Structure 1
Amino acid sequence: MSANTKIVVLRRKELLYTGIFAALGVLFVLLLLMLLLPGKDTDVSSGTPDSPDGTAAAEMPDNVADVSTGAVADTGNTYIPGIYTTELILGNETVNVEVIVSDHAITSVSLADPSETLTTMYPLLESTMESLNDQLCEMQDPEQVTYSAETRYTSLVLLEAVKASLEKAKPKATPEATGAPDATNAPAASPNVPKADINPAA
């Protein structure tokens, strides 16, 4: 008799433990759902109802054009404020030359996330870009940039990419102002930036 009682007690303990673990599992799942689901609805005020993925659209000042839509800023400005990139091909590697401009000035020129392979193959690339950044932010004219003989080819290639980015940043005349037909759907002519074949030591 006592043996049968012990077996029943053991089974009840197993059922009790199983029930406790099942309840804890359900509670854990409910807590996860409560934490994750409200997170999607909390920032509704910062997003736009029209955005299909519910993400917030970045608000831009009135004098800044939306480059993605081809909108044109005030034509009295030297540049349309924003970040402009030009892809530069160096051997088998590519890097983006990033130019940041305000309405009247170049504020920054840099390489956008250069790979470790690229900086190893072209050790003067980053230092040359830093020198160009300093000069362009001060003088604002790519034609006045100076460089040493050892960085001549690297500087010339980087300057061509910077000039191509600056061309993208310049405001275009609106069709209403020029009387020209609307060419917003026409493919944009890509700046002539040749592949760079520079010596890794230059």
Structure 2
Amino acid sequence: MSSRTKIVVLHMKEIIYTAVFAALAVLLIVLLMFMFLPKNKEARTNEEKYMPGVYTSTVTLNNTALEVEVTVDEAHINSIRFSNLDETVATMFPLIQPAIEDIAEQVYDHQSLENIQYSEDNPYTSQVIINAIEEALKKAETTK
């Protein structure tokens, strides 16, 4: 019985290419992990800051109760409106509807009540509306 010796010839060029492609594959995997995995637990919980639903708070103007209705999902403020604004109140306070529309647009853009610009025509009405929205959002916040 004779044993046959097998000789394997490796070219240095092939070894270098294999090492480079393996290093690039590992780098790609690490990069994808950093891109798609959340940074920490706080990043996951920041996405869920509201309990989805419709929340209301009351604003009283001239013995008339107006309800500010705020609709939220887990992470966004979706809608802000008066739920029972009738014609008599709109006639008595003509600037209240444009004020809530302006505030709602700013809140949709920022998704927060920070840095809201008040209208020069009705700063006090705007402040009352923002306080009502803030009260409704406190009801909507999840406890952690």
How does the TM-score come out when normalised to structure 2?
Answer: 0.65
Q: Cα distance, 1:89 vs. partner?
A: 0.7
Question: Structure 1 residue 121: deviation in Å?
Answer: 0.8
Amino acid at match of 1:87: T
Runs of at least 5 residues in structure 2 that lack an aligned partner in the other structure:
1-43
The match for 1:161 among 132, 135, 138 is 132
Q: Deviation above 4 Å: which 4+ runs of structure 1?
A: none
Instruction: Report Cα offsets for 1:21-76 as digits up to 9, x if no partner.
Output: xxxxxxxxxxxxxxxxxxxxxxxxxxxxxxxxxxxxxxxxxxxxxxxxxxxxxx93
Q: Note if 1:142 corresponds to 2:142.
A: no
* Aligned pair partner of 1:124 in 86, 95, 116: 95
Say whether the 8 Å CA contact 2:95–2:122 is kept in structure 1: yes
34, 54, 57: which is aligned to 1:86? 57
Q: Deviations over 1:170-195 (max 9, x none)?
A: 0124xxxxxxxxxxxxxxxxxxxxxx
SS for the counterpart of 1:103 is coil
Q: 1:133 offset after TM fit, Å?
A: 1.0
Amino acid at match of 1:153: Y
What residue is the counterpart of 1:32 in the other structure? none
State how far apart, in whole Å, the 1-side matches of 2:76 and 2:115 are.
15
Give the alignment partner of residue 111 of structure 1, picking from 82, 85, 109: 82
Give the partner amino acid of 1:126.
Q
Aligned-partner Cα distance in 1 for 2:50–2:91: 34
SS at match of 2:126: helix
Q: Give the distance between the partners of 1:131 and 1:111, measured in 2 at CA.
A: 13
State the SS of the aligned residue for 2:121.
Answer: helix
Name the SS for the 2:56 alignment partner: strand
Aligned equivalents of 2:57, 2:118: Cα separation in 1: 21
Q: CA deviation at 1:148?
A: 2.1
Amino acid at match of 2:63: N
Aligned equivalent of 2:72:
101
Q: Which protein is richer in strand relative to its size?
A: 2
Per the TM alignment, residue 147 of structure 1 is displaced from its structure 2 partner at its CA by 1.7
Give the secondary-structure state (helix, strand or coil) at the position aligned to 1:100.
strand
1:151 match: 122
1:33-52 to 2 correspondences below 5 Å: none
Query: Counterpart of 1:41?
Result: none
The residue type equivalent to 1:143 in the other structure is E
